[in-house]
């Protein structure tokens, strides 16, 4: 059962990632990325991370991807122009990617002591995770909330209309 679930959702994952690269319209790429993220949530569940599976669906597939599709539609992004990329990307980038993948795969395949995952392994409960998060790692957690606050302020400051922009002022006084 574990094997079948892994193969099916790993296939969805890779298929979605490849589709993200093939599609030329950003909205199709965004939908492929949602497929990848939901499949990853299932894989997290197979590895016993129940809280992360839920957070993956809510935060990534929910919040972040909604933001992406919203921006794609807001900016009315059309098909991207097909180019072959820069010469640097072609001549250095792709051989480097292949080399990195080969090195990582070699290391993983030769690693000793890597275990196996079974459905009967049991899951890390949310209670167990939150006990560590809210006792030993409380300070990093609080710092994260400050980071989120700064990100909200930064996003608002960056995305709002400039006050010196005459069109924006016209809109405001028109109302």
Partner 1 sequence: MSSFLSQEVPLSWYLLLSAALFSLGVVGFLIKRNLITVFMSIELMLNGVNLSFVTFAHQWHAVKGQIFVFFVMMVAAAEAAVGLAIIIAVFRARATLAVDRIDLMKL
CB of 164 to partner 1, least distance (A): 13
Cβ contact 30:68 at 8 Å: yes
Please list, in sequence order, all residues whose beta carbon lies within 8 angstroms of the beta carbon of residue 69, skipping any fewer than 6 positions away. Answer: 27, 30, 31
CB of 140 to partner 1, least distance (A): 7
Site for partner 1 in 56-115 (CB under 8 A): 56, 59-60, 63-64, 67-68, 71-72, 74-75, 77, 80-83, 85, 89, 93-94, 97, 100-101, 104-105, 108-109, 111, 114-115
* 15 binding partner 1? (CB under 8 A): no
CB of 130 to partner 1, least distance (A): 9
For residues 93 and 77, what is the distance between their CA atoms, to the nearest angstrom? 27
DSSP, res 89:
I
Cβ contact 65:34 at 8 Å: yes
Between residues 97 and 170, which has the closer beta carbon with respect to partner 1? 97
Helix or strand (DSSP H, E) at 138? helix 138-159
For residues 155 and 66, what is the distance between their CA atoms, to the nearest angstrom? 16
Q: Give the residue, chosen from 8, 118, 138, 172, that forms a contact with partner 1 under the rule CB under 8 A.
A: 118
CB of 173 to partner 1, least distance (A): 20
DSSP, res 124:
B
Site for partner 1 in 31-50 (CB under 8 A): 33, 36-37, 40, 43-44, 46-49
Six-digit token pair at 109?
């395949």
Nearest to 38 by CA among 8, 22, 60, 19: 60
**x/- site string to partner 1, residues 119 to 158, per CB under 8 A?**
xxx--x---xx--xx---x--x---x--xx-xxx-xxx-x
CB of 78 to partner 1, least distance (A): 9
Q: Give the residue, chosen from 159, 173, 174, 175, that forms a contact with partner 1 under the rule CB under 8 A.
A: 159
């Amino acid at each position: 059962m574990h094997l079948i679930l892994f193969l099916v959702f790993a296939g969805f994952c890779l298929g979605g990632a490849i589709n993200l690269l093939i599609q030329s319209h950003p909205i199709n790429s965004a939908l492929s990325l949602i497929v990848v993220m939901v499949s990853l949530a299932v894989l997290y569940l197979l590895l016993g991370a129940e809280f992360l599976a839920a957070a993956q669906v809510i935060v990534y597939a929910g919040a972040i991807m909604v933001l992406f599709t919203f921006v794609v539609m807001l900016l009315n992004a059309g098909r991207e122009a097909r180019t072959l990329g820069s010469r640097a990307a072609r001549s250095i980038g792709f051989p480097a990617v292949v080399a990195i993948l080969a090195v990582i795969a070699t290391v993983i395949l030769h690693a000793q002591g890597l275990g196996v995952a079974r459905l009967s392994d049991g899951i890390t409960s949310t209670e167990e995770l939150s006990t560590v998060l809210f006792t030993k790692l409380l300070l990093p957690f609080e710092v994260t909330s400050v980071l989120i606050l700064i990100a909200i302020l930064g996003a608002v400051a960056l995305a709002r209309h400039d006050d010196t922009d005459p069109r924006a002022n016209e809109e405001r006084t028109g109302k």
